[in-house]
Structure 1
Amino acid sequence: MKRYLLSDPASEDATPTRVPIDSRVGIYRLGDGSKTIVAETEGQRVDLAVRDATVSRKTDGRPPVELSPISRGISVRNHGSTNPVSLSTNLRTHTLTAGDAAAITDDCRLTVGISLTLQATVEREGSQRSPAAEQAGGVSPAAHARTLANALRAASTDSVAESRSVVAELRSFLDSHQLDSSEHEAVQRRVEQIERRLESKAGGLHHTEELDEEWQAELTALSDRIEGLYARASS
């Protein structure tokens, strides 16, 4: 089972930040006056690219909101946020006041403060289906986008040929799932550019079968951007 958070930055031009939930993850505002919101794991502190003075700071070394991996998915606990923490699914919205906790077993929107919104996702092993099967089964565009984004992340570490195949699927998906936003148009152009560059890499003078770390980082950033775009559109 994979669990992670995907940030929803305030700027449409910003790239969403992906934070794995492999251990406890604390969400809080830095106390340096910058209003910076971070996600803190055991090994690092990640800037979520959001500034919000309404998100609480740490108290006695403990973050106001904490997420932890559990057997069913993700546990979310409000340790003492002065503003309520909201969990939203397609069916309902649940508010956690100080001291409350809840379990996330599927996709969920997590809102802390006024402008900090995170996408919490639980992926079970073997649960992914092909894009064609997802479309036939009536899966939402956001879920379809997430499947393709995950496929591209994996393909980037596999081969140029596999990456080309997934990018072609992404281009078709973007063409058939139009969004009325400048960000969607920008992503479409970016995918087309990358597709042409991959074609050149596969058959040009600098032919290689694998992608280097710079390419992998670029495709991962594109995956995060597409996943975040459709996650925001579905909320």
Structure 2
Amino acid sequence: MPAYITTVTEDEGKDPIETQPISDTVGIYRKDGERGNIFLRTPDEDIDLGFHDRTVSRISSNARDICPVEMFDRDGSIFIRNNSNENAIEVEYLYGQREIGEGNEKKVTEDCVVKPGLWTNLRLSFKPDEADQADQLEEKGGISTVAYVELLCDGFVDASESSASNAYYYGQQLLTFAREHPVDHQSFEEAVADLERSIQNLKSDAVPTGDELNDDVIETHEQVATDISSIYKVKS
């Protein structure tokens, strides 16, 4: 599943920086100097991320040019490794936070905000392969609306069995498509409202804290997906 890094800033006058999908090791480090500029090191270049943060570590002289923080792809999975960052790397998910101490690494499977320092925020975003393939097919006219909706519904259910964040992503994809492609059916508005309610519940106390959803929530998502898929099939 491709993962992208995007800078997160509250400065409205500064456009976020988004990288290409992580396919090799990329590093994060503080450059020598008074301002403490934070850079992203890729195989091709070093990119100034626009942050000034002296709480992110520099590349030490005896580290053989290894960045204190690295993100990399291993067998199709994304990992974050703390090589030598003095502060623990904070990884914030939709429902909780994890820390990666010096000398440790962690596999990341869903959207999160990575904080190697107090003032450096990097969003790690995943774009599911199925959604990406469906986007391409839709643009080429190679897939019917019904087939596309069924693909999104299946993705929503599968994602619900994976994690809350993945379910939220797929749910938003399905909701956006349904709103942009409404059908004349007496139950359509109710089904879309049920989907929207399910998505909102993912961000509320209705879902227990943690990455996994309980069986009741998954069953609700299955029913919502079935209702929407059935409506599009009837109107096809």
* 1:37 CA drift (Å): 0.4
- Counterpart secondary structure, 1:18: coil
- Counterpart secondary structure, 1:126: helix
Could you say which residue in structure 1 is the equivalent of 2:59?
Answer: 58
Is 1:9 the counterpart of 2:13? The answer is: no
* TM-score normalized by the length of structure 1: 0.55
- Counterpart secondary structure, 2:48: strand
Q: In structure 2, which of residues 105, 109, 122 is the aligned counterpart of residue 105 of structure 1? A: 109
2: CA distance between counterparts of 1:25 and 1:65? 8
Structure 1 unmatched ranges of 5 or more: 149-168, 170-235
* 1:140 CA drift (Å): 4.6
* 1:123 CA drift (Å): 2.1
Q: String of CA shifts for 1:176-219, please: whole Å, max 9, x gaps.
A: xxxxxxxxxxxxxxxxxxxxxxxxxxxxxxxxxxxxxxxxxxxx
* 1:65 CA drift (Å): 0.4
2: CA distance between counterparts of 1:42 and 1:114? 26
Cα separation, partners in 2 of 1:142 and 1:123, compared to 1, 3 Å: closer
Cα separation, partners in 2 of 1:141 and 1:22, compared to 1, 3 Å: closer
1: CA distance between counterparts of 2:76 and 2:127? 11
Is 1:68 the counterpart of 2:72? The answer is: yes
Cα separation, partners in 2 of 1:52 and 1:75, compared to 1, 3 Å: same
**Letter of the structure 2 residue corresponding to residue 22 of structure 1:** S
Is 1:93 the counterpart of 2:94? The answer is: no
Could you say which residue in structure 1 is the equivalent of 2:43?
Answer: 42
2: CA distance between counterparts of 1:118 and 1:127? 23
Structure 2 unmatched ranges of 5 or more: 136-147, 161-166, 181-236
2: CA distance between counterparts of 1:34 and 1:95? 26
Q: String of CA shifts for 1:38-72, please: whole Å, max 9, x gaps.
A: 10001011111111111111122211100001234
Q: String of CA shifts for 1:102-132, please: whole Å, max 9, x gaps.
A: 01111111011111111112223223567x9
Which 4+ stretches in 1 moved above 4 angstroms?
Answer: 132-135, 137-145
The aligned runs of 1:1-235 (5 Å cut-off) are: 1-20=1-20, 21-59=22-60, 60=63, 61-128=65-132, 140=168, 144=172
* 1:92 CA drift (Å): 2.0
**Letter of the structure 2 residue corresponding to residue 3 of structure 1:** A
Cα separation, partners in 2 of 1:74 and 1:34, compared to 1, 3 Å: same
Q: String of CA shifts for 1:8-36, please: whole Å, max 9, x gaps.
A: 13412211111221211000110132311
Cα separation, partners in 2 of 1:73 and 1:53, compared to 1, 3 Å: same
2: CA distance between counterparts of 1:143 and 1:71? 27
Cα separation, partners in 2 of 1:123 and 1:111, compared to 1, 3 Å: same
Cα separation, partners in 2 of 1:124 and 1:96, compared to 1, 3 Å: same
Cα separation, partners in 2 of 1:143 and 1:66, compared to 1, 3 Å: farther
Matched-pair contact (CA < 8 Å) for 1:4–1:122: yes
Matched-pair contact (CA < 8 Å) for 1:54–1:114: yes
* 1:141 CA drift (Å): 8.0
Identity score, percent: 23
Matched-pair contact (CA < 8 Å) for 1:108–1:121: yes
| Higher Cα radius of gyration | 2
How large is the Cα RMSD of the aligned pairs?
3.2
* TM-score normalized by the length of structure 2: 0.54
